[in-house]
Structure 1
């Protein structure tokens, strides 16, 4: 998610912070067993956008004075949230029976579900081992709470697979938990560690949660409309695994009679081509895209005042990029 930025000092600070976080990530996962190291090297390729660690760092910089550097604890939190995120990707690929991730083979495709499940567990355990280096127990508590929240979201989603009565409220509760919570805590803890007060830290959490929800809606759209080469992972898995996503829910809600029945049959038959045509014709695709943009705009309006103007501008741009991406 990083890019060339007019404030070269800020760009250098972000790049240095991400490099330190990546070093921590790799050293934490280092094992005396070659087989474990091979698996960890493979999953390290999953690091793509680095959105969550970037938000930890930029949120921290936003609440420091010009010339002030971040604490080493920012590096630890940045590496920790990325490790938690990686574990969810490994487990998601098992649940979705996905074969491609970051344009390469998934762990479950290469080594089977048992190995992938244990690797995901290994990543989670290492994440909490790593974050124990942070001195303030309140930060560890927040990461534990958010990981529980994330798992709750996944469990509710699993319990509602193939449920054609799923409504928007439940959908948003699921994605707020399974995607929004970790993005939110990345912003929150980055700000807290830099000295932001409770009100600003809470506002940063809400900003991040909204970005995470919008990110998930964009993922829904890419799963329906994208191609594997561009997106870089298996697509069509939501329909295949019986997950109703926002465009589908919106289409069902806005149609009646034969149109609605046709959509339900297409979902049950896992007919992606027919469903895409229906969703585009009804305007559900554009409605979902508009909702993601609306959520991002609301998040931007709620972003609290910060000490560094350029850091705040970058947070606003990162928000826009969440809904502009094609992978």
Structure 2
């Protein structure tokens, strides 16, 4: 199997190859070949991404170059490729690798473009200064440029999606649906900002829409473009959905317990913007009136960035009621349920990597 090739492009991604599996987990020796194969295909995804975003206007190219900082674990495009490999009728064979073609690369690039657009827009909404240990677009160029750049990424995603040659209509419907659901989830979260009576059902509805939907779609498209039947596409979509909710819960925990240096982006923004996370939902639902009042005062102090003391006291309060542990255990349970959905797949290196990736979602520290 060929070693991964680095893209020679000079566009948005600068030719640097990134794969989430290499960043957040150790790869056993027997799975290195499939890791290298996915890395090689990821180079193709990168080239398509760069070509799609390339503009004849230098200011546009400069902004696109800056969002190179927004690349991180590349979870969604990696899931497109791995689910395509795992869902193929003869998974694990050389034929399965040959089945991963241009349409998989296009679908993977589309999913990442939509995701990156949401990050650019999220940073505007959150007034965040840091992303991937660098300045956000809004910090560097202002909110107007950031909003329009996010729109440019979304428009580029749909233009690239229209170039999918086989099953393009199905792909366009899936990406369009995911984008609508994602935006609705963000609007629902905005509606419930500072709602300290938010229940778990509503919390999970928000997370399912704004985070899990696009991850589910990435898994579905990977399977679809490998010729999987509807049942398999639905199974892998549900795998991605559970993985996505677990991923968001882990993000919630990192925003509460992590540092900017370790997480690589601004932390404490959920509190500052009045966004309810699972540890807070659980804690406030189970607290007596006195404890609830004290916690709300701590949330207000932490949200106003009154200093590390309020945040540390709040973390201690959440830990004392088992709310941090509850959130962590919920994420772990969802990962376990996601992995169970893969039992119907034939044994293959791609399936093994998907299982490892599922564990990495809750083991990560950034």
Same fold, TM exceeding 0.5? yes
For residues 125-170 of structure 1, the C-alpha deviation after alignment (integer angstroms, 9 at most, x for no partner) is 0000001011320111111000000000000001110011111000
* Map of 2:228 onto structure 1: 196
Structure 1: which 5+ residue stretches go unaligned?
A: none
Matches of 1:174 and 1:101, distance apart in 2: 22
Match of residue 306 from structure 1: 345
The answer as to whether partners of 2:239 and 2:342 remain within 8 angstroms in 1 is yes
Q: How many residues align?
A: 327
Which residue of structure 1 lines up, in the alignment, with residue 314 of structure 2?
Answer: 275
CA distance in 2, matches of 1:254, 1:160: 19
The separation in 1 between residues aligned to 2:248 and 2:73, in whole angstroms, is 14
How far did residue 304 of structure 1 move? 4.9
Q: Which runs of 5+ in 2 are unaligned?
A: 1-19, 304-309
Give distance in 1, aligned partners of 2:256 and 2:241: 23
Q: 1:173 maps to which residue? A: 205
Residue in 1 that maps onto 2:118: 88
Which has the higher relative contact order, 1 or 2, with Cα contacts under 8 A spaced 6 or more apart? Answer: 1
From 132, 138, 145, the counterpart of 1:102? 132
Q: State how far apart, in whole Å, the 1-side matches of 2:236 and 2:21 are.
A: 19
- Once the two structures are superposed, residues 218-271 of structure 1 have per-residue CA deviations (whole angstroms, 9 ceiling, x without a partner) of 000000000001100000000000001100001011211211211122223324
CA RMSD of aligned residues (A): 1.1
> Structure 1 residue 205 and structure 2 residue 232: aligned?
no
Separation in 1 of the partners of 2:223 and 2:94?
Answer: 17
- Tell me the CA shift for residue 273 of structure 1: 2.7
1:309 CA displacement = 1.7
Q: How does 1:1-327 map to 2 (within 5 A)?
A: 1-3=20-22, 4-5=27-28, 6-64=30-88, 65=90, 66-68=93-95, 69=98, 70-135=100-165, 136=167, 137-269=169-301, 270=303, 271-327=310-366
TM-score computed with the length of structure 1 as normaliser: 0.98
Displacement over 6 Å in runs of 4+: none
